[in-house]
A and B are shown apart, each in its own frame.
Chain A
């Protein structure tokens, strides 16, 4: 009987854990659910009963029509995509390189750079908005996507370096030494041995980097507000008027904006889970 006890205890604990996680999931998903459901309803139905599912009477694609046919949604969308993908690419590339340099080589200024990176995690980049704007305008980059890309790289790097350093430290020393004995150059060691081994961590960093960039309204508004350079979050604002808000369009564009994040997440999720848990075990 004694043997059964711990088992029961475990099951109780698992039940509580699941209940808490489930509640959290419901709370987190609820707004998204509401957005998606209402994006498929007519304006009247949205206001009558925001929580109801669309029925044959209330079903309407007017929001999507509006967004896809009468606005520059494709431009916003591709701007967002260009900015996010390039930022992630450079954050991962430079972040991994920097993490490798800081963990593998001891050189003058190693500690100083490491400390600057740590400070970058703690101090929000928005505090520097005014100087960033001045800098961008003297570089004639205002109202270009480059302005956003540069800022997002700076924003994403510190955390990326921090996380990737931890993972690079876990790559056994002998592996690099074996490669050195094989005559592999340092750059090749980085690209062909280290990078493939920290892929899970890269996926983690990619997701952590992508989401704030995709959702950001602040920097697009300040650095690239002109037509043609607006990102999706900024573009959606045109449906929000001072007196009337075109809720159908707002909800439809939000629904569409979720799609890329979802796709990215699905690509990375297998890697991501490995990334978050590896290192925890062992």
Chain B
């Protein structure tokens, strides 16, 4: 069993604090995705778990054992680097087998392991090549292969797909997902890619300036962001924010007055709200509609149209100058300069208080992962 437990992990370089006490509880076999803006300490956290940097404070446990002072190889972790970091002067086979050789495994065992991993990753025809004779995608797979052969308890991936082109990225993403199913190992995965985070992760950890902002299933984060930062971070294009005030408080919803003067409802927990509190109203681009079929309305002028084919993004400008983005059908004929009415459902509205904390939404949809849904269906 390879549970990974981080207890108040801190890291500072000199007197600069990079991580301010990270608590995480990762179960055996979980696929955890770390996301966060550039420089927030994701790579640093990964390197601490791998044992490549010293932990300044806190406890790190892998499989129930305190590993703070163990060298990388003894922790049972394997890291896949963004730059692949293949040994340039060794061929693929040697690259993959070097760790095992160092560990003193016998030749037959090593060959079998390497061949098995190479087959899994479809690189068995490349074993005699040098890294420089491989394409980016092939190198990436060798790097993963090098991690697999050691049978680590925990895989650490630091932006493994960011050097690949779009098509290859999708393909490799799917392969990593399958690999996780097959190996059943614990994986901690850093990425900047929304799709990777949403599709691969059993659990997403959103980090902000050296702290864990929120940790939960992808849908939980999408539907119930705990803070405005998470709301803005998860989802693409980003959630729209409009400043507003509490206009009136009802039993199961708030009525907000936005900075544009518009009045709108929001189905959120009203406990602790006072009249005229400053709040931030949030709505996702995909929850705005050009048709006037929804109850709540905003009027805006179109400043830019991006046509992606299956959808179009309209960049809107509200009467007080606030910018918004909406996602609409690819068939939309709206053009620049038009003034349109956009509508949305009050149950899709997010509300954040002055401290950036979300008010609990009580009419948001399903937050269960596919695995959980399958389990529930099986019971029923």
Contacts and interface: CB of A to CB of B under 8 A. Distances in A.
Interface stretch (A7-15, A149-157, A171-179, A216-224): A171-179
B26 to A, nearest CB: 19
A196 interface: yes
A177 B102 contact: no
Interface string B73-100: 1100111011101111100000000110
A17 B102 CA distance: 51
Contact of A172 (B50, B85, B89): B85
A187 to B, nearest CB: 12
Contacts of A179: 87, 98
A183 B104 CA distance: 11
Contact of B85 (A175, A183, A184, A196): A175
Contact of B98 (A177, A180, A182): A182
Contacts of B86: 178
A193 B52 contact: no
B150 A182 contact: yes
A174 B85 contact: yes
Contacts of B79: 177-178, 181
A121 interface: no
Contacts, number: 60
From A179, A181, A184, A188, name the one whose CB has the most chain B CB atoms within 10 angstroms. A181
Contacts of A185: 102
Contact of B81 (A174, A188, A193): A174
If over half of A's interface residues share one DSSP class (helix, strand or loop), that class is named, otherwise mixed; here it is helix
B103 interface: yes
B85 A177 contact: yes
Contact of B52 (A177, A184, A196): A177
A207 interface: no
A183 B103 contact: yes
B365 interface: no
A197 interface: yes
B72 interface: yes
Contact of B78 (A172, A175, A181, A184): A181
A268 B104 CA distance: 35
Contacts of B87: 175, 178-179, 193
A196 B103 contact: no
Interface in B129-167: 146, 150
B132 to A, nearest CB: 13
B162 to A, nearest CB: 14
A185 to B, nearest CB: 8
Contacts of B58: none
B84 to A, nearest CB: 8
B330 interface: no
Nearest to A184: B102
B85 A197 contact: no
Contact of A181 (B72, B83, B88, B89): B72
A179 B47 CA distance: 14
A181 B77 contact: yes
A170 to B, nearest CB: 12
B64 interface: no
Given A177-B79, A177-B81, A181-B50, A197 B71 contact: no
Contacts of B47: 177
B88 A197 contact: yes
A183 B52 contact: no
A153 B47 CA distance: 39
A178 B102 contact: no
B83 A172 contact: yes
Nearest to B47: A177
Contacts of A183: 71-74, 99, 102-103
Interface string B32-70: 000000000000000100111000000000000000000
B144 to A, nearest CB: 12
Contacts of A177: 47, 50, 52, 72, 79, 81, 85
A180 B99 CA distance: 9
A199 B78 CA distance: 28
B45 to A, nearest CB: 15
A178 B79 CA distance: 7
A43 B51 CA distance: 73
A184 B98 contact: yes
A180 B71 contact: yes
B89 A182 contact: no
Nearest to A185: B102
A197 B88 CA distance: 8
Contacts of B73: 180-184
Given A179-B98, A181-B73, A183-B99, 5 more contacts: A174-B82, A181-B99, A183-B72, A185-B102, A188-B102
Interface of B: 47, 50-52, 71-74, 77-79, 81-83, 85-89, 98-99, 102-103, 146, 150
Report, nearest first, the 7 A-B pairs whose CB atoms are least far apart: A183-B73, A182-B99, A174-B85, A178-B85, A174-B81, A196-B89, A181-B72
8 contacts: A174-B81, A174-B83, A177-B47, A177-B79, A180-B52, A180-B73, A184-B98, A188-B102
